[in-house]
Amino acid sequence: MTLKTYHLVDRAATYPLYENPETNIGGPSGGLLQTLYVYNILVTEDVTRGLKIAGTGTIGYDGSAGYIGGVKQKILTAYYAGVDVFFIPHLDDSYYYDNYVEALRVCDEVGIDPEGWLVGVASFEDVVDWLLAREA
């Protein structure tokens, strides 16, 4: 992995000053994809390869993906938005509420083929590995 070179910035002398806008977007379920965004900025290769990527999952200090809520809404929104890939936590096949297992049930319920675009991951490393395994 090759990282880009960055320089420290004096926030007091930087213009325009950054302001945190009023928004209702946030929460821990975006951690996995926010990590991908930051990672992709720091490395020289675009690991997203231009794919329309969506996903969900908390992110642990060790890079592990964690469960979230609202699986059905997130799957349907991503599918109808035409994403190329949707990353979702997949930690235990035998757990009824495992997010990936739940997403498969949603796909079955509404007649969506999950093959190729719904990807269960246990960690951020799984996300990067899946993306790098795709041909450019």
- Look at residue 41 in the predicted model and tell me its pLDDT: 92
| 78 strand-pairing partners | none
Among residues 107, 118, 91, 10, which one has the least CA distance to residue 130?
118
Taking only the tens of pLDDT, the chain with its 136 residues reads 666 666 566 666 665 555 555 655 556 899 999 999 999 999 999 999 999 999 999 999 999 999 999 999 999 999 999 999 999 999 999 999 999 999 999 999 999 999 999 999 999 999 999 999 987 6
- Look at residue 136 in the predicted model and tell me its pLDDT: 60
The answer to whether the bond into 16 is cis (omega within 30° of 0) is: yes
Active-site choice (29, 64, 72, 123): 29
Is 64 an active-site residue? Answer: no
Is 74 an active-site residue? Answer: yes
Which residue type does 45 have? E
| 86 strand-pairing partners | 54, 118
Distance between CA atoms of residues 32 and 95, nearest Å:
21
Active-site choice (52, 64, 74, 94): 74
